[in-house]
Structures are given as structure tokens and as C-alpha cells.
Amino acid sequence: MELSKNDLFNAIKEIINQSRLKVFREANSALLESYWQIGKLIIEDEQQGKLRADYGKATLKNLSNQLTLEFGKGFDYTNLTNIRKFYLAFPILDAMRQELSWTHYRLLSHFANPIHSTFHPIPYTLHLQSSTSNP
């Protein structure tokens, strides 16, 4: 069965788009998991189980300097602070939604209460709003 030039183009375009989407999802999932693990290590190291660390700012600044030299600006002080908040807000890795990106989680981390972090109504509320709102 021979496809028209337009059908052939559209079929190939669909394969490429699906492949790119799959790569994006897998990369996003790996990024979220690595940031979660980094946040966990930071909390365990600097806080020793407490909600706040006495020397946390110095630790994050030193760590950000080292990581930035090795890996670039993605690990500056601000991003490490966001990664730390991310872990505090979402302490259960398997409970996270893979459909949300790092940007979503970074924003949601600012609204989450670490004391009640096992219950997250915000992502569900955002999902309801986005699925019921008119374009």
C-alpha cells in the first residue's frame, strides 16, 4: 500500500513527535528523581532530622560553588534551595506525578507545608482546574 506524499510526511512526523515526547518524559522523570535524591542528601546531611539546620546556608553555598564548577549553573545556591524545598514538600518519591515537570514541582514546593507533606491537594486542584477550564 502506497501512501501519498502528505500521508507519508504526517506518519513520519507523528513517529518523531511521539519519540520526542517519550524522551522528554523519561528525561523529566530522571531529573525529578535525581533532584529528589539530592534534596534528601542535603536534608539528611545538614539538618540531622531537624526541620531547620543551623549551618545550612553555608553548606548550600559551599556545595553550590563545587557543583557549579563541576556541572554548571543548574546547581547554583537558588536551585539547591529549591531542590531542598522540593524534597521537604514531597518526601515520598513514589507518590509524585511524573506528568508534572520540575517547574511545576518547584512552584508547588513553595506552597507545601512540610509538616503535612503526605497530603498534597494542590496538584489535584490544579489538575481539576486545568481539565475543567475553557480555553
Q: Per residue in 53-101, pLDDT tens?
A: 665 568 889 999 999 999 988 999 999 999 999 999 999 988 888 789 9
What CA–CA distance (Å, rounded) separates 81 from 127?
A: 26
The gap from C-alpha 90 to its chain's centroid, in whole angstroms, comes to 10
pLDDT (0 to 100) of residue 54 = 62
Nearest to 84 by CA among 66, 65, 63: 63
Nearest to 47 by CA among 36, 59, 37: 59
Bigger pLDDT: 2 or 77? Answer: 77
Q: In this prediction, what percent of the chain has a pLDDT beyond 90?
A: 52
SS3 98: coil
pTM assigned to the model: 0.72
Per residue in 6-57, pLDDT (tens digit) is 899 999 999 999 999 999 999 999 999 999 999 999 988 877 766 666 655 6
DSSP state of 4: P
Q: CA angle, 93 as apex, 80 and 107 as ends, to 5°?
A: 50
